[in-house]
Amino acid sequence: MRTTYRMRAGRFLGILAAGLIILGVAAVLWAFGLPGVAVSVFVTLGAMVALAGAWILLRPPKVAKLRDGDLEARGVRTPWTDVTEVGRVETTHGEAIVLRTKQPDHPILLPVSWLPPKQVPMLEAALRDKLNAAHGYRIWDGTAGEDSDRSE
């Protein structure tokens, strides 16, 4: 099973806005009667930037892709067996979810501000579930396990 978490789309609204502003400049240039070549350059550039912004808004970049066997975060694939801990840390860019690996100098940071607020707890729970499954842990439900060794 594969789950993909993407960045907040609102982070990229500025790209669409920049394209629309360039199209507005093209309209002003056309209104002032500038040569068609100058207007067409601004129209082409504005349309390309606006289309790129719309595309990114519809399909934001991936933050993390969770698979049964591994995790892909920020372009790096790491097997679940190499991840030792999931937690939160404070960074210079705000709070982040940290995945500590067997290599102590190579933690994987996923900034919380990149994700939609509703996805943060879901991602943390999914990360812990995958990590527990990879290491053979299960969440204790408060009851005693099956006692198959009865030495009475």
**CB neighbour class for 129 (10 Å; exposed up to 12, middle 13-18, buried from 19):** middle
Fold of 63-135: PH-domain like (2.30.29)
- pLDDT tens digits for 46-78? 999 999 999 999 999 999 999 988 999 878 899
Q: Is the pTM of this model over 0.75?
A: no
pLDDT digits (tens, 9 = 90+) for 91-147: 998 999 999 888 878 888 999 999 999 999 999 999 988 888 887 776 666 666 566
Domain ranges in the chain?
Answer: 7-58, 63-135
